[in-house]
Every structure is written in structure tokens, then in C-alpha cells.
């Protein structure tokens, strides 16, 4: 068996920044530091921060008055920000800057008097937060079929924004359908949505062309990890999402002499290496040397909030 690794994979700059924010908040303010929702969608990361004093909550009313609370990388609504202020909480915003960019786009389109469409998945924290950033109705579009059901005239002044962790192929199809129905629609180009989403999907497509099976290491509630699995499957190879090495089914490896491994943007590299080690343990013969495919070298980094910056 040969194991081939995708490049790039794993943590993106937004995830790294969000985790660093919780780390710095713990160092400066001491435990506990409360975090509104999972800081990123990965249980290993959440559990690790929990052992160091982070307390994860799904309701701000569960945070003691005047305590420190960190908003997750997915972003929050204006209502959540106002609620935290009303309760006297010391709020630190870990929203990914690329998600904040979507918020700004949405607000600008609404100020222009356009009806806003959001391309994304219902209930995802990023979608909830973005919709809650504007004081106007927002129409959610999750599939191309949703375009035809929009109760809007074709000449309506409309604009769209997108969730940052979607399948680029699906998003292009939806945007094409929107342009066909609303010729005057405006919105961001797909390639400008999120560099990490694009890079990882391009990389997994290249990986799928070289292997017999793709393993995506990531949480089941991670949108970007699920999209990586879908992209690999659309490339014509079986693909499985595993949270860690314990979820590998040896039956998947039969007839798969070349196994590709990648990971979602919220998955630590430690879990990838554990999966590689487990593959070696499951194979009766020694593995050939692990190969990492060439790919984009990401050098993006985002600054921490000023109050947490290192001196």
C-alpha cells in the first residue's frame, strides 16, 4: 500500500487565528474563558481547549455576567453581539476575517437597496451569523432548484453572498442559475470566496486522480470536510470521512493499493498523522514511503485582535 497526502490540507489561517485567540484569552484572563459555540468544527480541538479551561456554551445566558466570552470563527449575528453587551460580557470576536468580509458585502448590498440572497446551508452557524448581520429579509439558496422557487421578479435588484465552506462546483452552478434568472444580479466571484476552501478542493481533486480511495480527516459537522469528501467522490473514487484513526474500516482498504489522505480546514495535522500510522498498522506488509503531492503553499496569516496581540 502507498499513502499519498494532499497539499494543502488541515488548518487554514482563520482556524489558526481562532484557536490562538482562545489560547491568548486563557493566558491573559485565566480560566474559565467561555466560547459561544464550538470555536471551530473539530471535537479534538474543542476537547483540547476544554482541558485548558475553555467552557463551550450554546446560549449566552449560560455565561456568568461580566465574564469573558469568545465568538467562534463562524461569526455571530448583531443580536448576539447586542445581547453580550447588555449582559456586561467581555466579548472577543474570533470570526474569520473572510467571514467578516462576507458580512460587509451583505451589509453593503442591503444599503444599496438590493434584495439579498445567501447561498449556503440552512442552520449552519456561518449562515445564521451572516443573515443576522443585516436588517432586511434574506432569501436562502441551497440548491439550484431553489432559484426557481424564489418569489422575486426577474428584474428585481438582487445580490448574493455565499457561505465560505461550500463546494465550489455547486456554488458555480447556483450562481450561473441566479444570473440566468436575474440578469442584473451582483455578487462576489467564486474564486474570491475563501482561499482555503478553493485550495483544498483543488488539491483533493488532484489527489483523487492518483488513488483508489480517499480518506478525509475531519468532523462530521464540518462543512468544508464534507465538501472535500463530495469533491473526491465526484472525481470517481470512493471517499470516506473519518474523525480519527479509530473510524477506519479495514474493509475499505481491500483492493485499494493507493490511499489518499487529506483533512478539513479545522483538522489538526496530528490526526492526519495518526490516520497514516493506523493505515500502516492495518496493512500486513510495510508501506512504501508516504508521498505528499505538490500544491499551493499557503502563507496567509491573520492578526489577532489588538487586545490579545503579543507585545
The answer to whether 303 touches 16, Cβ cutoff 8 Å, is no
210 SS3 class? coil
CA distances from 76 to 22, 45, 125, 173 (A): 16, 20, 7, 27
| Count of CB atoms situated within 10 Å of the CB of 123 | 8
- Would you call the peptide bond into 8 cis, given omega within 30 degrees of 0 as the criterion? yes
Q: Which residues of 216-232 are buried (b: 16+ CB within 10 A; e: fewer)?
A: bbbbeebbbbbbbbbbb
The answer to whether 93 touches 71, Cβ cutoff 8 Å, is yes
One-character DSSP codes across 116-130? EEEES-TT-HHHHHH
Phi-psi region of 254 (alpha: psi -120 to 50; beta: other; left: phi over 0): beta
Q: What is the DSSP letter of 60?
A: G
Quickly list H helices, the chain.
Answer: 13-29, 43-51, 78-86, 97-111, 125-131, 144-149, 168-181, 195-208, 223-234, 269-282
Phi-psi region of 53 (alpha: psi -120 to 50; beta: other; left: phi over 0): left
Catalytic residue among 38, 126, 230, 245: 126
CB within 8 Å of 86: residues ≥ 6 apart: none
CA distances from 238 to 107, 146, 223, 267 (A): 41, 29, 19, 21
Query: Residue 126 catalytic?
Result: yes
285 SS3 class? coil
The residues annotated with a catalytic role in the active site are 126
Amino acid at each position: 500500500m502507498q499513502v499519498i497526502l494532499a497539499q494543502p490540507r488541515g488548518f487554514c489561517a482563520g482556524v489558526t487565528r481562532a484557536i490562538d485567540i482562545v489560547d491568548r484569552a486563557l493566558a491573559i484572563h485565566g480560566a474559565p474563558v467561555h466560547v459561544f459555540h464550538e470555536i471551530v468544527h473539530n471535537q479534538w480541538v474543542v476537547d483540547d481547549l476544554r482541558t485548558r479551561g475553555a467552557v463551550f456554551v450554546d446560549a449566552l445566558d449560560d455565561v456568568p455576567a461580566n465574564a469573558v466570552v469568545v465568538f467562534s470563527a463562524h461569526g455571530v449575528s448583531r443580536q448576539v453581539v447586542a445581547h453580550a453587551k447588555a449582559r456586561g460580557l467581555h466579548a472577543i470576536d474570533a470570526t474569520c476575517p473572510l467571514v467578516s468580509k462576507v458580512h460587509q458585502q451583505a451589509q453593503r448590498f442591503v444599503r444599496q437597496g438590493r434584495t439579498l440572497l445567501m447561498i449556503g446551508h440552512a442552520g449552519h452557524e456561518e449562515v445564521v451569523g451572516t443573515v443576522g448581520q443585516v436588517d432586511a429579509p434574506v432569501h436562502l439558496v441551497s440548491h439550484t432548484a431553489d432559484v426557481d422557487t424564489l418569489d422575486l421578479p426577474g428584474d428585481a435588484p438582487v445580490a448574493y453572498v455565499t457561505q465560505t465552506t461550500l463546494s465550489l462546483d455547486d456554488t458555480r452552478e447556483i450562481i450561473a442559475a441566479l444570473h440566468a434568472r436575474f440578469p442584473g444580479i451582483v455578487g462576489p466571484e467564486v474564486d474570491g470566496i475563501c482561499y482555503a476552501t478553493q485550495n483544498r478542493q483543488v488539491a483533493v481533486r488532484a489527489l483523487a486522480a492518483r488513488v483508489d480511495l480517499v480518506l478525509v480527516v475531519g468532523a462530521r459537522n464540518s462543512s468544508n470536510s464534507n465538501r472535500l469528501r463530495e469533491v473526491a467522490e465526484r472525481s470517481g473514487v470512493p471517499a470516506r470521512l473519518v474523525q480519527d484513526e479509530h473510524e477506519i474500516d479495514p474493509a475499505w482498504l481491500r483492493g485499494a493499493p493507493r490511499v489518499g489522505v487529506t483533512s478539513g480546514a479545522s483538522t489538526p495535522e496530528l490526526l492526519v498523522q495518526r490516520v497514516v500510522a493506523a493505515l500502516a498498522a492495518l496493512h500486513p506488509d510495510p508501506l512504501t514511503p508516504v508521498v505528499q503531492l505538490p500544491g499551493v503553499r499557503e502563507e496567509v496569516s491573520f492578526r489577532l485582535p489588538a487586545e490579545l496581540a503579543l507585545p
